[in-house]
Chain A
C-alpha cells in the first residue's frame, strides 16, 4: 500500500482533513519540527504540506525537503507561500483589488483529477475567493492546471522534478476543503493524490 506523509504544523490534537486519509494509502503524520535536519532516505510516496504550515520550520528542514525532491519525491503543497522552502518556489502574488470576476476559476490544461469535477467545485459554500486570490508563481517548466484573474494567475500548477518527482502546488487554502467530502464523486483530493503518486516512482524501501 502506498504511504503518504502529512506534515503537521497545527495543534497536535487536530486530525488532518479527513480527505487525506481516504486515498487508498496509509497516512503517516509527523510534526514538522520532528522532520530530519538533513537528507534522509525517501520513505513515502507522497508528502502533503497542508495550509497553515510553519514555513520557517520548513526552511530549517530544507536539506530534508531537497533530499526528498532529488530522490524523486512527490508533493502536494497547499496555501499561499510567503517564505519559499524549495528552490523553485517564489512568494505569493495576490491579484490586486480583485473583483468577483477576477476570482472565477479557469481551467487551463486538462487534468484527470479536475476534468470530471462539476462546475463550481471551487466554490466553498458558494463563495468565490476561498479557492484562491492569486498565485505562487509557477517556475519555468511548470504545467499550469487552473488559473484565476482571467488566465493571469496560476492557482494550480505542477512541476516535474528529477527522477520522476512531482510537486503539485495549490496556491490557496487547503484543497481538501473543495469537493472532497465523503459524498463527493469524484473526490478531488483523492483523485489528485492518486494521480500525483502514479506519476512518480515508488520509494525504495529496502533497509
Chain B
C-alpha cells in the first residue's frame, strides 16, 4: 500500500515532501489541483500536509468522498481547515501559545490518550508537544490518540463517518520541520511516517489474506 502526498508548493512542503529525509516515504507527490485528474484509488493513503490552503482542496471534495467511500485513508494535518473539505469534522481554533517552553516548568499539556495504539511504539509524548492550534470534537466511535490538558482531541482516527478512514490532527509538523525549526516536529515525522507505512502494509496483507 502506498502514500500519495499533496504538495502545495511552499518551501516547507517542498523540503518535507521532496527533501532527502522523508521523500522515500511517499510513492507519489501531486499538486492539490492534480486531484482533478489523479485518482488516489491506487494508493493506500492520501496525505494532506499542514497548511495546505483549503481553497485548493474544496473543489476536490467529491473526489475525496469517493476515495473514502472506497475504503481509502485520508490524513489531514494541522491548519488545513479540513472541516471545509472533509465530512464529520468539528474543529475549534485556539490562540497559539508560541512561547510556553521559555518557562522550564511550563507544560503544553499534550497527552497520549491511547498509549496502546501502535503509533506510540514510534512516538513518545514529548514528540507531540510544540504548539497547539485548536482541538476537535470527534464523532462517537472515533479513537482519540492525543489530547490537550482538558482532554480535547488533537489527533484522532475516525472509521465511523465514512467507509474509509480519516486520520485528523491539529498538529503541524510538516510546517515546522520544513522550516528547520523545532526538533520535536522532526521527531514526530520520524515516528509518524514509519508507523503509517507499517500500518498500510499491514492492512494490505490483511486484505490479501
Contact = CB atoms under 8 A, between A and B. Distances in A.
B98 A125 contact: yes
Interface string B72-92: 000000000100000000000
B10 A81 contact: no
Contact of B31 (A9, A56, A82, A130): A56
A126 interface: yes
Main secondary structure of the interface of B (DSSP, over half): loop
B111 interface: no
B14 A82 contact: yes
Interface string A110-144: 00000000000000111101100110000000000
A12 B57 CA distance: 13
A11 B9 contact: no
A52 B180 contact: no
A5 B115 CA distance: 50
Interface stretch (B20-28, B48-56, B118-126, B195-203): B48-56
Contact of B10 (A13, A54, A125): A54
Contacts of B99: 124-127
Interface residues of B, number: 22
Contact of A127 (B9, B19, B31, B102): B102
Nearest to A53: B10
B7 interface: yes
B180 A9 contact: no
B11 A10 contact: no
Contact of A56 (B9, B55, B180): B9
Given A54-B9, A126-B102, A9 B14 contact: no
A50 B90 CA distance: 30
Interface residues of A, number: 27
B127 interface: no
A55 B10 contact: yes
B180 A11 contact: no
Contacts of B10: 9, 52-55, 79
Given A56-B7, A133-B180, A173-B179, A10 B53 contact: yes
Contact of A11 (B14, B31, B55, B181): B55
Nearest to B81: A11
Nearest to A52: B10
B11 A94 contact: no
Nearest to A96: B180
A7 B73 CA distance: 33
Nearest to B99: A125
Given A57-B9, A80-B178, 7 more contacts: A9-B10, A9-B53, A52-B10, A54-B9, A55-B14, A82-B12, A82-B19
Interface of A: 9-13, 52-57, 79-83, 92, 94, 124-127, 129-130, 133-134, 173
21 contacts: A10-B51, A11-B54, A53-B10, A54-B8, A56-B7, A79-B11, A80-B12, A80-B180, A81-B11, A82-B11, A82-B12, A82-B14, A83-B14, A92-B11, A124-B98, A125-B98, A126-B102, A127-B99, A127-B102, A133-B181, A134-B180
